[in-house]
Amino acid sequence: MHLLLDHNVPDSVADVFRARSHTVALLREIMPTDSPDPVVATVGDMDGAVLVSCDRDFDSIAPRILKGMRTRYRKLSRIAIRCTEFHAARRIEEAMALIELEWATAQNRADKRMFIEILTSGIKTNR
């Protein structure tokens, strides 16, 4: 997987993904941290990246179920971290097998996007 981590995601989350040989780009290293969310989503979409974020900003910008004929962000997958930043890396590590399975499953569908929420006491996927 190729992941783009929003500026609010702890570096420890990047370390967990890198330990599993995934490619990680930190938003703050490739664009200004105050870049508008639609620009961030566009960059992730163009790269076919999985956008990892700790806030809800992208819920309305790049939803799983598109409304009407909207065709923006057709390649953008997302992992939304909904637990505290302190627990984020551990929760990602615990969910890694599911994340990788969801990614592999998505690659065999016409709509290759993956949407996962990492919660304090659970994991939610949306196919």
Amino acid (1-letter code) at residue 117? E
Give the C-alpha separation, 16 to 20, whole Å: 7
| pLDDT band at residue 37 using 50, 70 and 90 as cut-offs | confident
**Average pLDDT of 40-59?**
86
CA neighbor of 78 nearest in space, from 115, 38, 105? 115
The pTM assigned to this predicted structure is 0.89
The pair of three-digit structure tokens given for residue 107, joined into one six-digit string: 């690659």
For 1-22, the pLDDT digits (tens) are 999 999 999 999 999 999 999 9
Predicted pLDDT of residue 33: 86
For 104-121, the pLDDT digits (tens) are 999 999 888 899 999 999
Give the C-alpha separation, 9 to 85, whole Å: 7
The pair of three-digit structure tokens given for residue 36, joined into one six-digit string: 């508008």
Q: Taking a C-beta distance cutoff of 8 angstroms, is the pair 116, 102 a contact?
A: yes
DSSP H stretches of helix in the chain: 11-19, 27-30, 37-47, 57-61, 85-106
For 61-104, the pLDDT digits (tens) are 655 555 544 567 778 899 999 999 899 999 999 999 999 999 99
